[in-house]
Structure 1
Amino acid sequence: MKYIGLLLVLLFQSCMGFSQELMGSWSGNLDFGVQKLTFVVHIAHENGQWTAKADSPDQGAFGIPFQIHVEGDSVFLNNSQGIKLSLLIASQDKLQGQFYQSGMKIPVILARTAKDVLTKKVLPYQTPKPPYSYDTIDVVFPNKYANIQLAGTLTFPKEQGKYPAVILLTGSGQQDRDETMFGHKPFKVLADYLTRNGIIVLRYDDRGAGKSGGSFEASTIDDFSKDAISALEFLKKQKNVDINKIGILGHSEGGLVANLLAGQGIPNVSFIVTLAAPTVPIRDLMIEQLYSVGKAEGMSEFQLAMAKEINKKNFDVVKSELNTDEAFSQLKKNMNIMEESSQNEAIRKEMLMMLTPAYRYFVRIDPTDFIKKIYIPVFGAFGTLDVQVPSTLNLRGYHDHLPRNSKTVLKEYDGMNHLFQKAKSGRVVEYGQLEETINEQVLKDIASWIKGL
C-alpha cells in the first residue's frame, strides 16, 4: 500500500576527499525497527572527481547514484529521491553518521568491505524483451477533470479483429507504467502475457511519474479514479477493442480503485480483476497490515498486542474530524510523547504525515459500500503470505459483501506474497530477492478467465 513506503524504499551512496582511504566498497545496515536492510556503497575517484554508487541488495536495487559534497572529514550525500546522509570518517575502515528519509533519522555505520565479497548477482527477473509478438505503441491521453496529460503504453495483437481489453492500475506509491519496484516490472510482465493471449492492454505512468503530468503528492483516491476513467475513455475508442469486453485490472491500491469504480457502475466496464485489493475499511486494513508486517519481522506477541492497541487509537484519530492541531495532540498522547526531543523528531514527522489531507482521505475510505453494488464479474486474487493486504481478512470482505455472480472467481494462492511471487516468508524485503516477478499460474488464470467471459 502507498503509506508503508518508508519500509519499502532504500537507496544510498558515499564519497570523500581522502583518496586511497575512501576508494572501495563500504557496507552497513539500516534499522527501521520492524525491518533491517543492507546497503552497500562503492566509491571511486576518476579524473579528479569523486563518484559513488549504492546498492540495496535486499530490494534488488543496484548502482544508485548520489550527489556528493565534502567538507574536511565530513561527507554529505543526497539523491533525487530525497534521501540524505551525513557521514564522518571515524577511522580508516569506518564511516559513521546519520541517514535521513521522509523525516526519519537513523544512525548508520559503514565498514570497509572487500568488493568481491559484496558482489551480488542481479537476478534474472521475468521482464520481457523485444522483439514482441504483438504491436506496442506509446500513447498520451487527456484527463479533462484535472486538465493534465497522462502517458502510457498500448499493446495489442497484430491480427485484425475485436479483442477484450483492460487498463492496469498500479499499487501504492508513485509508480511508472510498469509498476517498477525492487528490480521487478510486474505490469510489463502482465501486459506481455495478456497481449500474447489476445487481450489489449493499456498501462500508464501515475501522475507526476514518467511522462505523465500532474502532481502526485496531494492527490487522493478520487483523483486516481478520474485518471482511470480517462484511461477507460481512451481505451474504448481504439478500433480493435471489443466495447462489450472492457475491464479494469488493479493491483493493491489499484484494486481498491477498481472496486470503487465498479461499485459506481462506470459505463462500459464489464469486468474487473483485483490482485491483493483492500475489501475492508482502510482503517481496519492498516491496523492489520502493521500487525502482519511486525509479525513477519519477528516482533513478539506482547509487542504486537501493544502496538495493535496503539495503532487502533491512532487510526481512529486520523479518521476523525479533529483538526490537525487537535489530532496531532491526541497522537502524541497515544504515543506517550510528552516533550519534544531529537529522539522523537522522526516520530513527530511521521505523525504529521499521517495527518495530511490525502492520507486522512485514504484512511476514511470504506470499500464495502461499493463492493455491495458490484454486479459485473470479479476475479479477486490474494496470496496467503501477503503481509500488506492479508488474504483471510480481505477474502472475507468479498465473501461478505460482493453480490453473487456465476462468473465471479475469488481465489487464494498458497505461499504467494503481495506481488504474487512464490515466497518463503512474505516479508517486504524478500520481494527483490526472488527471481519470479509474477507467478505464471496467476498470469494463466487471469488470461483464461478474461477470455472465457
Structure 2
Amino acid sequence: MIRKATLCLFLLLSATSYAQQKGAYKDVSIPNKDITLSGTLIIPPGDKPVPAVILISGSGPHDRNETIAGKKPFLVIAEYLTRRGIAVLRYDDRGTSRSTGDYESAILPDFAADAQAAFNFLRKEPGIDPGKIGILGHSEGAMIGQIMAAGEKYLGFFVSMAGPAQDGILMAKEQSNLLYKDLPAAEGKVLRDIMDTLRQVVLEETDTVVMNSRIFNFVGKQYDSGELGLGGLITKEQFVEMYIANYRRPGFKALLLHDPTKFYSRIKCPVLAVNGDKDVHVDCEANLRAWKTGLTATGNSRVTIKAFPGLNHLFQRCKSCTIFEYGELPETISPEVLAYIQEWIAVQTGLKKS
C-alpha cells in the first residue's frame, strides 16, 4: 500500500514533469514609455537558453491570441513552436484587453515601438538566447515588422504571414478587387468605386471633422441610391457609421501611406514570407513576389517565399474562401504551415541543420 507521503511526492513529480513537457507559462508586463503591454511568454523546458519569437497581430485591436471569429491562431502557433524548442512571446495590443494605452490613436510606428519594446524585454529574459530572437507578423503585423526589423540590427529572423509587401494604396486597391471579385459585376463596381473615393478623401483631408463630413455625405448618398440593395438589411446610420469608424482612424491613413521599399534596405536578417493562395485580403502572388524582389534588390539574399494552395488569409483550408467562413471552418491554422514555419526557424537558429 502506497503511503500518503510517497503518493504526494509521486503526484508532485508527475505534475512537475507534465509542466516541463508543456513549457513554462509566464505572464509578463512590458514597459514602453507611458504604456504597459501585457503578455504571455512560454519557454520550453531545459537548461540551455533557447531561441524565441515575438508574435505581432494584424489590423484591428487584438488580444494576445489574435482572436478572430472565435479562432485563436496565436495561441496555436505559440504552443506548437514551444513544444518544438522555440520560446514564444505574445501580447495584447495597446489599449486592448490587459494592455494600457489607446489603440484608436496609434499608427504603424507606434505599434512598431511596441514590438521593439517586446524585443528589448525578451533580450534580458532568463532562459532566452538574446542572439536568436525573431518576430512573426500576421497581415498588418508584418508591416509593423518591416519598420521594427529595419531599426533592429540584432534581430535574428523575420516571418511574414500574409503580410503586404507593396505600398498601402496599391495593396488597398488589390484588396477591393479580391473581396468583391465574386459579386455581380455591377454591384462589385459600385463597392470598388466607394472604396476608391473614400481612400481619396482620407488622403486629401487633414481636418478630421471635414473628412468625417465628406465620408458621411458620400456614403449616405450611396445608401440612398438603392444600388446596393441594403434597405431592410442595415439602417443608413449603421451603414455610414461603419465606414466612418473604419476610415477616420489615423492608423488607416498611415497604412495607405506605408511604403515597404523605405525599409527593405535596412532589413538584414533572414526573412520568410508565406501566403495562402486563396487570401482575399493580401494578394498571394503579387505580395510574395514583392517580398522577394524588394529585399534581394537591396542586398538581402536570405529570403524565402512560400505559397500554400487552398488556404485563406488565416491559413485555413477553405471552401468558399470568403471572409464569412473564418469562424465556420474547423481548422484554426493548417498544420502544414505550422510545420514549415517551425522548420525554417529551426534552421535559422541552429536547432536544425540546413
Q: How would you bin the TM-score normalised by the shorter chain?
A: 0.7 to 0.9
Shift of 1:231: 0.7
Q: Paired residue for 2:230?
A: none
Counterpart selection for 1:408 from 282, 287, 303: 303
TM-score scaled by length of structure 1: 0.65
Q: Paired residue for 2:155?
A: 269
Q: Which runs of 5+ in 1 are unaligned?
A: 1-129
How many Å separate the matches in 2 of 1:369 and 1:234? Answer: 26
Shift of 1:232: 0.5
Counterpart selection for 2:272 from 361, 371, 379: 379
Q: Paired residue for 2:198?
A: 314
Aligned length, in residue pairs: 320
How many Å separate the matches in 1 of 2:54 and 2:330? Answer: 26
1:358-437 correspondence runs (5 A): 358-403=251-296, 405-437=300-332
Q: Please give the secondary structure, in 1, of the residue aligned with 2:27.
A: strand
Q: Paired residue for 2:188?
A: 304
Shift of 1:435: 1.4
Q: Which runs of 5+ in 2 are unaligned?
A: 1-17, 226-233, 349-354
User: Kindly tell me: are residues 434 and 371 of structure 1, through their superposed partners in 2, closer, same or farther at Cα, counting changes over 3 Å?
Assistant: same
How many Å separate the matches in 1 of 2:243 and 2:190? Answer: 18
* Offset from partner CA, 1:323-355 (integer Å, 9 cap, x none): 335445654676582999996433433443313
2:186 is equivalent to residue 293 of structure 1:
no
8 Å CA contact 1:283, 1:319 repeated in 2: no
Q: Paired residue for 1:47?
A: none
Shift of 1:440: 0.9
How many Å separate the matches in 1 of 2:223 and 2:39? Answer: 48
How many Å separate the matches in 2 of 1:338 and 1:196? Answer: 52
Counterpart selection for 2:117 from 222, 226, 230: 230
Q: Paired residue for 1:244?
A: 131
Counterpart selection for 2:146 from 259, 262, 278: 259
Which residue identity is paired with 2:326? Y
Which residue identity is paired with 2:203? K
8 Å CA contact 1:371, 1:401 repeated in 2: yes
Q: Paired residue for 1:117?
A: none
Q: Please give the secondary structure, in 2, of the residue aligned with 1:168.
A: strand
Shift of 1:187: 0.8
8 Å CA contact 2:40, 2:89 repeated in 1: yes
Q: CA RMSD in A?
A: 2.6
* Offset from partner CA, 1:369-403 (integer Å, 9 cap, x none): 21343221101000111111121231232133112
Which residue identity is paired with 1:349? E
1:339-350 correspondence runs (5 A): 344-350=236-242
Which residue identity is paired with 1:307? L
Shift of 1:416: 0.3
Which residue identity is paired with 1:262? A
Q: Paired residue for 1:161?
A: 48
8 Å CA contact 1:165, 1:247 repeated in 2: yes
Shift of 1:429: 1.5
Q: Please give the secondary structure, in 2, of the residue aligned with 1:380.
A: strand
How many Å separate the matches in 1 of 2:223 and 2:275? Answer: 43
User: Kindly tell me: are residues 401 and 357 of structure 1, through their superposed partners in 2, closer, same or farther at Cα, counting changes over 3 Å?
Assistant: same
User: Kindly tell me: are residues 314 and 209 of structure 1, through their superposed partners in 2, closer, same or farther at Cα, counting changes over 3 Å?
Assistant: closer
Shift of 1:188: 1.0
Q: Paired residue for 1:133?
A: 21
2:72 is equivalent to residue 185 of structure 1:
yes
User: Kindly tell me: are residues 327 and 163 of structure 1, through their superposed partners in 2, closer, same or farther at Cα, counting changes over 3 Å?
Assistant: same
Which residue identity is paired with 1:287? K
How many Å separate the matches in 1 of 2:277 and 2:200? Answer: 27
Which residue identity is paired with 2:128? V
* Offset from partner CA, 1:15-74 (integer Å, 9 cap, x none): xxxxxxxxxxxxxxxxxxxxxxxxxxxxxxxxxxxxxxxxxxxxxxxxxxxxxxxxxxxx
Which residue identity is paired with 2:328? Q
Counterpart selection for 2:207 from 315, 323, 326: 323
* Offset from partner CA, 1:127-171 (integer Å, 9 cap, x none): xxx8672322333333332x2221111111211112211111112
Q: Please give the secondary structure, in 2, of the residue aligned with 1:137.
A: strand
Shift of 1:311: 2.4
Which residue identity is paired with 1:362? L
User: Kindly tell me: are residues 376 and 217 of structure 1, through their superposed partners in 2, closer, same or farther at Cα, counting changes over 3 Å?
Assistant: same
Q: Paired residue for 1:211?
A: 98
- Greater strand share, 1 or 2? 1
Which residue identity is paired with 1:181? I
How many Å separate the matches in 2 of 1:326 and 1:176? Answer: 32
Q: Please give the secondary structure, in 1, of the residue aligned with 2:89.
A: strand
TM-score scaled by length of structure 2: 0.82
User: Kindly tell me: are residues 321 and 275 of structure 1, through their superposed partners in 2, closer, same or farther at Cα, counting changes over 3 Å?
Assistant: same
How many Å separate the matches in 2 of 1:337 and 1:195? Answer: 52
Identity of aligned residues (%): 37
How many Å separate the matches in 2 of 1:213 and 1:336? Answer: 35
How many Å separate the matches in 1 of 2:20 and 2:67? Answer: 20
How many Å separate the matches in 1 of 2:282 and 2:294? Answer: 17
8 Å CA contact 2:282, 2:313 repeated in 1: yes
- Greater helix share, 1 or 2? 2
How many Å separate the matches in 1 of 2:249 and 2:52? Answer: 36
Which residue identity is paired with 2:287? N
How many Å separate the matches in 2 of 1:142 and 1:131? Answer: 24
1:33-52 correspondence runs (5 A): none
User: Kindly tell me: are residues 174 and 351 of structure 1, through their superposed partners in 2, closer, same or farther at Cα, counting changes over 3 Å?
Assistant: closer
8 Å CA contact 1:276, 1:382 repeated in 2: yes
